[in-house]
Structure 1
Amino acid sequence: MAKKVRRLGRNIFLFVLFMALASLAAFYLSDYYYEPPFKHYNKFGIDLPTQYNIHGIDVSRHQNRISWDDVKAMKVNNIGISFAFMKATEGTDFVDEQLNNNMRNAKEVGITRGAYHFFTGSKSGKAQAIHFLEHVSLKKGDLPPVLDVEQANGASVTDVQQRVADWLSIIEKVYKVKPIIYSNVDFYKTYLAGRFDSYPLWVAHYFVKDKPRIDRNWVFWQHNENGLVNGIRSKVDFNVFNGDSTAFSQLLIQ
């Protein structure tokens, strides 16, 4: 009798375990194959600085799954999306859940891709660089790696600069190209100006026309965070490249 009870209990446990695993598998498969409904727009929904020829976006998990075919196909007055930066990592342990989807699918449709690390000012720059390298593998034709520095997290100017320098040094040695620094105008002036002016700058400055108000050269300008793009269900950041197609090609990883 005791053996029958134990056998029955084991069978019930195995059945429950099987059903749990089956439910979990169904959930992930439905998430992978399900294509959510995407809105389509007649316009990008913002005023674009049309004096620049090369336009792009930057995305993260906040945009959820993206239909990159629709992103690539959208054209308004002959302006389309030519490049996209993807959030990759943050700090020393976070990885963006949409990184691999975005990197793979953007490349498949012919959008030039890049990846950025969101910097935590209170943590080791070396550890953050290693974390980025563990999860990102940029190739020839991709944009240089990007360090997004916009928060000090309580660290001093000196400490932020040293940790940033450590990250940049490690990444530059691996990719043989100067990484791009992303920051907003005020943070750059307070924490980074003077020491990192030789690095390509991707600057965030909203609600201004023509160009960002910063007294140094820049390569990308994030000019608006409220853009609308086919294939993306939420608002998205818009950027322009400060140069022509030749300069853009020369910037890419060779």
Structure 2
Amino acid sequence: MTEFQKIKHTFAFTNKNTKAWGVLALCVTLHAGKVAASPNNTKITINNHEISKNMLQKEQPIHSSEDYLKGIDVSHYQGKVDWHKVASTGVHFAFVKATQGIHTIDKQYHHNWHQTKKAGIKRGVYHYFDPSLDAQQQAKHFLSTTQHDFGELPPVIDIEAFENVSAKQVIDELKLFLSHVSETTMCKPIIYTSPGFWSQLNDHEFGEYALWLAEYSVKPRIPDGWSSWLFWQYSSKGKVHGINSPVDLSYFSSSTQALEALSCSKQ
């Protein structure tokens, strides 16, 4: 198999004297032909962005949510979003639903995709995965719709329902989807899931993919196979200026520079 860009990240909490301390380390192995950083280098290149290794580490106390970059994700359920108003609230990034299954294109996808760019918000795109349908057909539908334009963030596969199939079939189909997208685009997708759903799969083999965690609790649980989250969707009931219905809210676990370095779209 071709060697793709790999992002491994760890996020550990320890409690000492009632203070929570967070440590984030993003260790990056780049696709052959890009640039691979040696242990002695002080800088690494990720998708044509040269940044200091220190930008990928936060070894400081985490006192509140203000330590994280904030973002949202949207679909047709949010109606027609006024993205310039959203940008005025300080939202750093947005994930936009593109597709579902093998035929569905989200009704607001094109509006959201173009308007987020105009508003200057960093964009990602996601596919809602149906494990009862052919995984490769879903991947082709997703890539055909997006035209391999993933914006400024890696593509996402949203996996959160069995759709009346077994755990084994979910895992097998998920692997096929991820492999197809990775091999076709040279870009590893992010997996969006919740610990409650993932625990039913009883699987820990997907840790090579970055995790977007859906967990609405003060202290998020990490699903088997991962040691950390890259994005954390912490609420489904957010209120954001420019959006007339509740919206999902998420955190990014590191700096603005690290967020920018995640892009794997052709610029």
Partners of 1:192 and 1:128 lie apart in 2 by 24
Q: Is 2:71–2:250's contact at 8 Å kept on the other side of the alignment?
A: yes
TM-score normalised to structure 1 length: 0.74
Aligned to 2:165: 155
Pick one of 58, 68, 77 that aligns with 2:83. 68
Distance in structure 1 (CA, Å) of the matches to 2:148 and 2:81: 20
Judge conservation of contact 1:161–1:192 (CA < 8 Å) in 2.
no
Larger Rg: 1
Cα RMSD after superposing both structures:
1.6
Unpaired runs of 5+ residues, structure 1, are 1-48, 75-79
Cα distance in 2, alignment partners of residues 110 and 245 from structure 1: 14
Whether the 8 Å contact between 2:152 and 2:262 is mirrored in structure 1 is no
Inter-partner Cα distance in structure 2 for 1:160 and 1:140: 24
Alpha carbons of 1:54 and 1:62: their partners in 2 closer, same or farther (altered >3 Å)? same
Match of 2:198 in 1: 188
Q: Structure 1 residues 222 and 62 mapped into 2: Cα distance closer, same or farther (>3 Å)? A: same
Higher helix share: 1
Match of 2:132 in 1: 122
| Residue number in structure 2 paired with 1:164 | 174
| Amino acid across the alignment from 1:155 | V
| Moved segments of 4+, more than 6 Å | none
* Residue of structure 2 in register with 1:100 after alignment: 110
Q: Which amino acid aligns with 1:60?
A: S
Partner residue of 1:32?
Answer: none
Match of 1:233 in 2: 244
Structure 1: distance between partners of 2:141 and 2:239: 32
Aligned length: 199
2:187 equivalent to 1:177: yes
Residue 70 of structure 2: aligned partner: 55
Q: Which amino acid aligns with 1:159?
A: Q
Aligned in 2, Cα 1:50/1:155: closer, same or farther, shift over 3 Å? Answer: same
1:138: Cα distance to partner? Answer: 4.5
1:217 to 216, 228, 235: 228
1:251 Cα offset (Å):
1.5
State the identity as a percent: 37
| Aligned-partner Cα distance in 1 for 2:199–2:213 | 11
Mapped to 1, the partners of 2:233 and 2:191 lie a distance apart of 12
Residue 245 of structure 1 and its aligned partner are, at CA, apart by 2.0
**How many angstroms apart in 1 are the aligned matches of 2:88 and 2:127?**
28
Cross-structure match for 2:256: 245
